[in-house]
Structure 1
């Protein structure tokens, strides 16, 4: 096994390969926009969690493709959990689902096309971590929030 095959396997398990848990694509397949925008007692919504996942996956994908890291220290991580008003309708929900499919698909493609040398490259601007470590942590981050989405979906379906 290589870093590449492990990362692709982990990424696929998060998005569309049912293994230890229900993958995100399957979890969202029957979710309505109303459910995605329903707040729990902590004011969390599935849509906001998905926006957070989109922000970090799209950001790190662009960094990976560019081959360099430009950190934005001005970003407030809480802001990545925002839900835009245009995401509260069917068109906005479909756009969110499409963006998720695209970013996970693009990650898979980029990883498939990468060589091991890139994955072992150290990133001095990011704690000197290797790319494989950064991508692996991003995937763990995805799995964590996918678990939150699953719990929130169950709460919503039970009437909170």
Structure 2
């Protein structure tokens, strides 16, 4: 196994599934037992927690599709357009899919040969595979911080 790819996969797992090194938390820790009514609660003009989680999942799925040999079908302009989650069951089903897709992407990252990490991701305008994986991790931490703040605001105001 490629050590560099394995390290990237583990960094990705840390932010989504199981880490505490950077933010002292992760998506799964913050969302797994969060009531869906809090996840969909709106505060002023901020995105909801569920929208931010779905936004990250959108990118996880888009990158996973490319790693599986498909096309890059995701577009920034659609990355916040999701139907409102209407029940606890819908929220739990989304979270289960999010965790499974994140682990699947981590496994695909682990399988990348070292030379692939320095190759262009789909098109040279997107940079390398390494840059896109790093960007996914950084993007995830950025929105995790937002989720933490929104969660604190909503719980304080309930």
Q: 1:43 Cα deviation (Å)? A: 4.4
- The residue number in structure 1 matching 2:59 is 56
When structure 1 is superposed on structure 2, of 8-17 and 53-62 the one drifting more is: 8-17
- The residue number in structure 1 matching 2:4 is 3
Give 1:60-79 correspondences, 5 Å limit.
60-66=63-69, 69-70=71-72, 75=75, 77=77, 79=78
1:3–1:132 Cα contact (<8 Å) kept: no
- The residue number in structure 1 matching 2:131 is 133
> CA–CA distance in 2 between the matches of 1:82 and 1:142?
18
The 1:93–1:123 alpha-carbon spacing in structure 2 relative to 1, beyond 3 Å, is: closer
RMSD in angstroms over aligned alpha carbons? 2.2
SS of structure 2 residue aligned to 1:127: helix
The 1:123–1:107 alpha-carbon spacing in structure 2 relative to 1, beyond 3 Å, is: closer
> CA–CA distance in 2 between the matches of 1:116 and 1:149?
34
Give the number of equivalent residue pairs.
155
The 1:124–1:48 alpha-carbon spacing in structure 2 relative to 1, beyond 3 Å, is: closer
The 1:124–1:91 alpha-carbon spacing in structure 2 relative to 1, beyond 3 Å, is: closer
**TM-score, normalization by structure 2:** 0.86
The 1:84–1:70 alpha-carbon spacing in structure 2 relative to 1, beyond 3 Å, is: closer
- Alignment match of 2:44 (pick from 22, 41, 45): 41
Q: 1:147 Cα deviation (Å)? A: 0.9
When structure 1 is superposed on structure 2, of 34-43 and 110-119 the one drifting more is: 110-119
Gaps of 5+ in 1: none
- The residue number in structure 2 matching 1:24 is 27
Q: 1:140 Cα deviation (Å)? A: 0.7
> CA–CA distance in 1 between the matches of 2:71 and 2:116?
14
- Alignment match of 1:108 (pick from 101, 106, 109): 106
The 1:159–1:123 alpha-carbon spacing in structure 2 relative to 1, beyond 3 Å, is: same
Gaps of 5+ in 2: none
SS of structure 1 residue aligned to 2:157: coil
SS of structure 1 residue aligned to 2:14: helix
